Amino acid sequence: MKKKDLLKADLLKTKVEHVSLDTFNPVPLIEAMDKMAFQARNTARAAQIYEMMLKEKDCAVILCLAGSLVSAGLKKVIVQLLENDMVDAIVSTGANIVDQDFFEGLGFRHWQGTPFVDDNVLRELHIDRIYDTFIDEDELRACDDTCKKIADSLDPRPYSSREFIREMGSWLARKGKNKESIVLRAFEKDVPIFCPAFSDCSAGFGLVEHQYRNGLVGKPTMSLDSAKDFLELTRIKMDVKETGLFMIGGGVPKNFAQDIVVAADILGVDVGMHKYAVQITVADERDGALSGSTLKEASSWGKVSTTFEQMVYGEATVFFPLIAGYAYHKKAQKGRKPRRFAQMLELSPAARG
Amino acid sequence: MKKKDLLKADLLKTKVEHVSLDTFNPVPLIEAMDKMAFQARNTARAAQIYEMMLKEKDCAVILCLAGSLVSAGLKKVIVQLLENDMVDAIVSTGANIVDQDFFEGLGFRHWQGTPFVDDNVLRELHIDRIYDTFIDEDELRACDDTCKKIADSLDPRPYSSREFIREMGSWLARKGKNKESIVLRAFEKDVPIFCPAFSDCSAGFGLVEHQYRNGLVGKPTMSLDSAKDFLELTRIKMDVKETGLFMIGGGVPKNFAQDIVVAADILGVDVGMHKYAVQITVADERDGALSGSTLKEASSWGKVSTTFEQMVYGEATVFFPLIAGYAYHKKAQKGRKPRRFAQMLELSPAARG
Amino acid sequence: MKKKDLLKADLLKTKVEHVSLDTFNPVPLIEAMDKMAFQARNTARAAQIYEMMLKEKDCAVILCLAGSLVSAGLKKVIVQLLENDMVDAIVSTGANIVDQDFFEGLGFRHWQGTPFVDDNVLRELHIDRIYDTFIDEDELRACDDTCKKIADSLDPRPYSSREFIREMGSWLARKGKNKESIVLRAFEKDVPIFCPAFSDCSAGFGLVEHQYRNGLVGKPTMSLDSAKDFLELTRIKMDVKETGLFMIGGGVPKNFAQDIVVAADILGVDVGMHKYAVQITVADERDGALSGSTLKEASSWGKVSTTFEQMVYGEATVFFPLIAGYAYHKKAQKGRKPRRFAQMLELSPAARG
Amino acid sequence: MKKKDLLKADLLKTKVEHVSLDTFNPVPLIEAMDKMAFQARNTARAAQIYEMMLKEKDCAVILCLAGSLVSAGLKKVIVQLLENDMVDAIVSTGANIVDQDFFEGLGFRHWQGTPFVDDNVLRELHIDRIYDTFIDEDELRACDDTCKKIADSLDPRPYSSREFIREMGSWLARKGKNKESIVLRAFEKDVPIFCPAFSDCSAGFGLVEHQYRNGLVGKPTMSLDSAKDFLELTRIKMDVKETGLFMIGGGVPKNFAQDIVVAADILGVDVGMHKYAVQITVADERDGALSGSTLKEASSWGKVSTTFEQMVYGEATVFFPLIAGYAYHKKAQKGRKPRRFAQMLELSPAARG
């Protein structure tokens, strides 16, 4: 092995392992936090609201994912929420779904690293850094390439990100090397996954190459229709009585999931606001940006009801397992039935475009 | 006038006015800040780097916009950068371009409000809040509807957001009521605007209605191809020798614009990293999310060179005018020619899909 | 009861309860977090470092407290650390020790409130607010007054804050109404408590009145000698082989405790840097202020060794119980002996001034 | 020169220079910001409030300083406020006054550095780091030693920090090497400076050594009476009709200056709340700590009136010159008379102890 390869192997040595909700029971801690102040109390209230939305009959739970969650060891929590029917639809950044989850489904891993390192050295070694986590860039290219292959195999028409991600799930079911996967489990459970900015990830690289190479030889190509994403998610809102949002981070997933209330209204369908809403974030409201905007502010827009909403100011690797684990160990999922929204969307003629 | 209307009129009384780079000259202040510490020094260095990217021959400047910038009074700064050939392409959230700039182009305005208010009262009055700014929701619906009309007028094929925004510019040129508009000026100057998550804004509402209504009667519809966005922006990177990023906020625009270096590489074209990069943000790197990730981290991914990069930790309404104004008053734009990338993209056969 | 009293009673209804380390066992969660990323991994490493400093023979642990910790429900955790010999000296803001802990020792309580309230109404009702917590201002005045009484009972000479707080402990031992108290337990365990900015709290009000009233009639008064505080804490550093810092928040306690390494050096005594250091904070390093400055930066000053240091970016109500609870349930305190530094300081002639 | 000395000289090469309010006129920018949103509008309002407190007859202005301001290049701004009678009393952290301003008065300087450096190397070279600024540790020791010499020269009695800082001013008047000094100018203008946590800085090191060395040989020593600080600042509040707070950062200075309203009340003197209050900070309110607590919250405590208060979320090196410069260029100081509170305090018998 060359010196460079040795160094690379040395840096990519300790795997990121995914925390499991079965490992710990946060219920006693959360119950104590409920009687305290600041973020402890906010966390407890958020956990209770997530429990409430799960226990309410006819309430669909939409999980929003932003930030580097899967690479940070939160994949299994999301897989467990899927397996236990604790989430009915997912809206995510592309990175979590493709670069991180699908990537691991292909058999690759994330590595424990450090922020105290020379990024120029990492680049030379083809190591990508996410704060204190390392990724093998060569493996990411293999992930991009798999997305291109999937695109090449599809009919040349507009797809919602959900449809494409479903194809990724099908691919993993057939050829995946790591069965603990959000994309795979969602495929099996018919839970739709939306990435409203889907070109902004590894899939985007695959699709760009698909369109470019086929464009050069005049072949028709598939396309990504983000308006279709919006219409499909709005259909879910129109299909259920109540909805609750469990948002990890802000960004496009937060805005997109909140907006479907307004979209349904524009389509002339009278739906209620999101009845429940919880957001874990470190963003600040004082810069006026969406990620840190309060759920109370969202209420002025007619998107979220203020009765059961809670912002939690904290970082997801710590707060997401606590809140999800509380509902899980309180067995809020008991008796909950899978909604299989993906089936509904597949059958909807308008959704097929 | 009813009591409710009176109250609404009272809340929507004081307009947000847009700051002009002609009002003040920050050069002496920035030069003094260069000799200080912390964010003063970072701001000065960022201003110098923006000046450098403008002065370098054969360097295209990509402006990335995230956060509520136009509603906050920053529209004119962006318009002035367009008018003075200080930006060659824009990557933005949809909100800035459609809900805020196009919205004002239709003759509507943003209003000075306050965060210390009951959001339930605002909702009753159809007033939307962005921190300390108010918007008339009824006017926003008119904006959504205009987007639907534009969609209805187009051929039923996949469009990049850039193509659609160009149509919006054309609309404003013909029917706009406020000529001080980013969308309009970019249309006139052939500066392409990309919104990679384009359904996540007022245009999304219009397009959802377009697809839904036409779908109900079996008519073919247009679609939004975000992969095409990615390919088009990558073409720009492949077309020029050097690039510089001037990023206001993080989110999808930051990631998307950084990624084109990798995309070009995947298409087999050897382009350099972004030579210059500046980001104004209040996000933190310690949660591992993209918005606050350092430009040094981006260098490990091979996207940004570390020689001329600077993070500025501050809120855009204060820091964007200072940095843009420095380059403007130093006349960094002198002799710079418009690149008219939009023309190049219109002519590119592959980009037409 | 008058309407005003009724309203006040309604707002002061739900007590803040203090979380107990016996309620939950965070060890499995922390062990899982150690294999993740971002703040999860940082939290795990901080917990391990706190465990290490407890297990090291001849290492004294200094606990630094800033922020509103006691009012937020963290009193019992600190009491439990005292009871289990898991802390050998405390450096704190005055608010935690006097306004909050001593205050509760007098029989008063903190109340669960909300930040969404009109502060002018609260002021009318004599209710003080700390974010989402309420305090009865009339009870706080009784606390101030008790401090004045203690001051009146003392010899008119300069006191370190430690000496005065010891008198407060003695008072609680005799007249306290709530035995679960940091001040009382530290008194019993001979653990010194320092408040380097001691006039900046309820005690300050008492002492100002003591000096003012006695001054008016020409009587000599006691005084607060913060230089003596510094000398006493430095003596502790000179007395032990190794030291570890467990810092909750930043501010004066952080700076003060770090500085004793330099102070010992100035007194000509060769002591090592703090061998272990952990800080929980939400402050940011990018503004150059002390609270968010990294422990690596402290190493340039010769105060903290970089081998076993960890910053944790999080809010104390959640992170302090997790980190303290980890060491507690791992029984790091087993075999650890009380150091009774207060006795050493009482006997030291120079410390007596 | 040895290799080590060469390296040190290379790192301490570029001086931090202090920004002058004469260099730039922020009035047009601030006036434009007033019509915008978010922190631009907050900054404008804060600037207007500072202008108001200066223009109000019988209103004393208390400037609070926390964070590393002087080392960052803000010394001249504070000196200019003193020279133009735009501040009547200062409450500060010790670091700004002693380690940074008095230090520069002795002829030493701060140096432009970088946060991207190995702190262990800096420590070896006796270079202290404040984020991106370097200090020569050997020179700091000379500053500590000068404080010891001043202490040695004083009567062995309790001193307020204000009294001691006045002695430092006297020293600089006689022996200082750099006349642009806050301590010196305040001495000349009879503006009192309080450091309520005065042992927590370079002066603390000097005083510890003073007490330790004299204690060893049984000589009486001076002491630092922080209760006296509190009483003296409260006297100022009792002496004037109205007060305004201009706070840079939070911490002890913020709390201390706010508290004097309550202290006066306890002494039986009916004073109003602080009529005006402005704070520049990057701290967050959501952790419940004092530094980020809102001025509205302070109003529940009866400390600050809510009519003219404004929080500005930003970093001081950028926002302090803008706000101070606005009032300066609007000539808010015109006709304002020096209050010379230091004279009043010197003459007050009770204040002499």
Residues of D in contact with B316 (CB under 8 A): 38
- Distant-in-sequence, close-in-space partners of B118: CB < 8 Å, separation ≥ 6: none
- For residue D215, CA distances in Å to C160, C238, D159, D208 come to 15, 16, 18, 10
Q: Best residue in A24, A112, A286 to probe C by mutation, most C CBs within 10 Å? A: A24
What letter represents residue A308's amino acid?
Answer: F
Q: What is the mean pLDDT of chain B?
A: 96
Q: How far is D287 from chain A (nearest CA, A)?
A: 6
For A73, the closest of C36, C110, C322 (CB atoms) is C36
Residue B211 and residue B153 in contact, taking contact as beta carbons nearer than 8 Å: no
HSE, side-chain direction, 13 A CA sphere, residue B131: 22
Please write down the HEC assignment for all residues of chain D.
CCHHHHHHHHHCCCECCCCCCCCCCCHHHHHHHCCCCHHHHHHHHHHHHHHHHHHCCCEEEEEEECCCCHHHHHHHHHHHHHHCCCCCEEEECHHHHHHHHHHHHCCCCCEECCCCCCHHHHHHCCEEEECCEEEEHHHHHHHHHHHHHHHHCCCCCEECHHHHHHHHHHHHHHHCCCCCCHHHHHHHHCCCEECCCCCCCHHHHHHHHHHHHHHHCCCCCCEEEHHHHHHHHHHHHHHCCEEEEEEECCHHHHHHHHHHHHHHHHCCCCCCCEEEEEEEECCCHHHCCCCCCCHHHHHHCCCEEEEEEEEEECCHHHHHHHHHHHHHHCCCCCCCCCCCHHHHHHHCCHHHC
Q: Do B313 and C287 touch (CB under 8 A)?
A: yes
Residues of C in contact with B46 (CB under 8 A): none
For C284, the closest of B37, B284, B288 (CB atoms) is B284
Residues of D in contact with C127 (CB under 8 A): 300
> How far apart, in whole angstroms, are the C-alpha atoms of residue D173 and residue D190?
13
> How far apart, in whole angstroms, are the C-alpha atoms of residue B144 and residue B158?
19
Percent of chain C with pLDDT over 70: 98
Q: Which residues pair with A301 in a beta bridge?
A: none
Over residues D194-245, the pLDDT tens digits come to 999 999 999 999 999 999 999 999 999 999 999 999 999 999 999 999 999 9
Q: Give the pLDDT of residue A20.
A: 98
Q: What are phi and psi of D335, to 5 degrees?
A: 85, -5
Q: Is D217 on the interface with B (CB under 8 A)?
A: no
Q: Do A35 and C68 touch (CB under 8 A)?
A: no
Q: Give the pLDDT of residue A2.
A: 85
> Of C262, C291, C295, C308, which Cα lies nearest the Cα of C54?
C308
Q: Give the pLDDT of residue C352.
A: 41
Mean pLDDT of D163-190: 98
Q: Do B199 and A196 touch (CB under 8 A)?
A: yes
The model's confidence at residue A90, banded by pLDDT at 50, 70 and 90, is very high
- Distant-in-sequence, close-in-space partners of A63: CB < 8 Å, separation ≥ 6: A78, A81, A87, A89, A90, A91, A246, A247, A248
Percent of chain A with pLDDT over 70: 98
Q: How far is B336 from chain A (nearest CA, A)?
A: 31
Nearest CA in chain A to B287: A315
Q: What are phi and psi of C246, to 5 degrees?
A: -120, 100
Q: Do A123 and B249 touch (CB under 8 A)?
A: no
Q: Give the pLDDT of residue B349.
A: 54
Mean pLDDT of A288-293: 92
Q: How far is A269 from chain C (nearest CA, A)?
A: 33
> How far apart, in whole angstroms, are the C-alpha atoms of residue D176 and residue D182?
12
Q: How far is A249 from chain B (nearest CA, A)?
A: 9
> How far apart, in whole angstroms, are the C-alpha atoms of residue B299 and residue B68?
27
What letter represents residue C10's amino acid?
Answer: D
> Of D112, D89, D77, D131, which Cα lies nearest the Cα of D322?
D77
Interface of C with A in 253-272 (CB under 8 A): none
Residue D353 has pLDDT above 70, yes or no: no
- Cite the DSSP H helix spans in chain A: 3-11, 27-33, 38-55, 75-83, 94, 103-105, 119-124, 137-152, 161-175, 182-189, 202-216, 226-239, 251-266, 295-300, 316-329, 341-347, 349-352
For the whole prediction, is pTM greater than 0.95?
A: yes
Q: Do B283 and A285 touch (CB under 8 A)?
A: no
Q: Would you tell me how many other CB atoms lie within 10 Å of the CB of residue C216?
A: 11
Q: How far is A285 from chain D (nearest CA, A)?
A: 10
Q: Is D130 on the interface with C (CB under 8 A)?
A: yes
Between B and C, how many residue pairs show a Cβ–Cβ distance under 8 A?
Answer: 19
Interface of C with D in 220-249 (CB under 8 A): 221, 223-231, 234, 249
Residues of A in contact with C44 (CB under 8 A): none
Sign of the CA dihedral with A90 first, then A92, A98, and A104 last? negative
Interface of D with B in 74-103 (CB under 8 A): 74
- Distant-in-sequence, close-in-space partners of D317: CB < 8 Å, separation ≥ 6: B33, B36, B37, B38, B39, B40, B41, D69, D72, D73, D74
Q: Best residue in B15, B22, B24, B78 to probe D by mutation, most D CBs within 10 Å? A: B24
Which DSSP symbol is given to B97? I
Residue C353 has pLDDT above 50, yes or no: no
Over residues B71-81, the pLDDT tens digits come to 999 999 999 99
Residue D112 and residue B41 in contact, taking contact as beta carbons nearer than 8 Å: yes
Between A and B, how many residue pairs show a Cβ–Cβ distance under 8 A?
Answer: 253
Q: Do A130 and B216 touch (CB under 8 A)?
A: no
Burial of A307 (0-12, 13-18, 19+ CB in 10 A): exposed
Residue D320 and residue D20 in contact, taking contact as beta carbons nearer than 8 Å: no
Residue A351 has pLDDT above 50, yes or no: no
Residue C111 and residue C11 in contact, taking contact as beta carbons nearer than 8 Å: yes
Residue D350 has pLDDT above 70, yes or no: no
Q: Best residue in D212, D229, D318 to probe C by mutation, most C CBs within 10 Å? A: D212
Residue A156 and residue A220 in contact, taking contact as beta carbons nearer than 8 Å: yes
Please write down the HEC assignment for all residues of chain C.
CCHHHHHHHHHCCCECCCCCCCCCCCHHHHHHHCCCCHHHHHHHHHHHHHHHHHHCCCEEEEEEECCCCHHHHHHHHHHHHHHCCCCCEEEECHHHHHHHHHHHHCCCCCEECCCCCCHHHHHHCCEEEECCEEEEHHHHHHHHHHHHHHHHCCCCCEECHHHHHHHHHHHHHHHCCCCCCHHHHHHHHCCCEECCCCCCCHHHHHHHHHHHHHHHCCCCCCEEEHHHHHHHHHHHHHHCCEEEEEEECCHHHHHHHHHHHHHHHHCCCCCCCEEEEEEEECCCHHHCCCCCCCHHHHHHCCCEEEEEEEEEECCHHHHHHHHHHHHHHCCCCCCCCCCCHHHHHHHCCHHHC
> How far apart, in whole angstroms, are the C-alpha atoms of residue B85 and residue B54?
9
Q: What residues of D are labeled active site? A: 303
Q: Give the pLDDT of residue D349.
A: 54
> Of A90, A39, A101, which Cα lies nearest the Cα of A68?
A101
Q: Give the pLDDT of residue D164.
A: 98
> How far apart, in whole angstroms, are the C-alpha atoms of residue B127 and residue B136?
5
Beta strand A59-65 pairing with A89-92: parallel
Our CA angle for C334, C340, C341, nearest 5°, is 125
Residues of A in contact with C37 (CB under 8 A): 16, 68, 71-73, 110, 112, 130-133, 317
Over residues A107-123, the pLDDT tens digits come to 999 999 999 999 999 99
Residue D107 has pLDDT above 60, yes or no: yes
For D37, the closest of B16, B26, B31 (CB atoms) is B16
> How far apart, in whole angstroms, are the C-alpha atoms of residue D133 and residue D113?
4
Residue B351 has pLDDT above 50, yes or no: no
Percent of chain A with pLDDT over 90: 94
Q: Do A17 and C35 touch (CB under 8 A)?
A: yes
Q: Which of A303, A331, A334, A337 is catalytic?
A: A303
H helix or E strand, kind and range, residue B54: helix B38-55
- The answer to ipTM > 0.85 is yes
Q: Best residue in A136, A141, A165, A223 to probe B by mutation, most B CBs within 10 Å? A: A223
Residues of C in contact with A36 (CB under 8 A): 16-19, 72-74, 317
Q: Is C313 on the interface with B (CB under 8 A)?
A: yes
For C286, the closest of B287, B288, B313 (CB atoms) is B313
> How far apart, in whole angstroms, are the C-alpha atoms of residue D332 and residue D323?
12
Q: Give the pLDDT of residue C349.
A: 53
**Which has more confidence, C117 or A1?**
C117
Residue C73 and residue C256 in contact, taking contact as beta carbons nearer than 8 Å: no
Q: What residues of B are labeled active site? A: 303
Which DSSP symbol is given to A57? T
Kindly state the tokens that stand for A162.
Answer: 């959900």
Q: Do B132 and A288 touch (CB under 8 A)?
A: yes
Neighbours, chain D (3 or more CB pairs < 8 A): A, B, C
Q: Best residue in B119, B120, B258 to probe A by mutation, most A CBs within 10 Å? A: B119
Residue D164 and residue D150 in contact, taking contact as beta carbons nearer than 8 Å: yes
Neighbours, chain C (3 or more CB pairs < 8 A): A, B, D
Q: Do B123 and A205 touch (CB under 8 A)?
A: no
Whole-angstrom Cα Rg for chain B: 20
Q: Which of C15, C303, C331, C334 is catalytic?
A: C303
> How far apart, in whole angstroms, are the C-alpha atoms of residue D315 and residue D249?
9
Residue C130 and residue C68 in contact, taking contact as beta carbons nearer than 8 Å: yes
Q: Give the pLDDT of residue B67.
A: 96
Q: Give the pLDDT of residue A347.
A: 84
Residue D352 has pLDDT above 70, yes or no: no
Q: Give the pLDDT of residue A349.
A: 54
Q: Do C73 and A314 touch (CB under 8 A)?
A: no
> How far apart, in whole angstroms, are the C-alpha atoms of residue B224 and residue A327?
38
Residues of A in contact with C24 (CB under 8 A): 26, 28-29, 32
Mean pLDDT of A20-37: 98
> How far apart, in whole angstroms, are the C-alpha atoms of residue B271 and residue B239?
9
Interface of C with D in 26-65 (CB under 8 A): none
Q: How far is D351 from chain A (nearest CA, A)?
A: 40
Q: Is C155 on the interface with D (CB under 8 A)?
A: no
Kindly state the tokens that stand for A119.
Answer: 């990024």
Q: Is B9 on the interface with A (CB under 8 A)?
A: no
Q: Do D37 and A284 touch (CB under 8 A)?
A: no
Over residues B177-228, the pLDDT tens digits come to 999 999 999 999 999 999 999 999 999 999 999 999 999 999 999 999 999 9
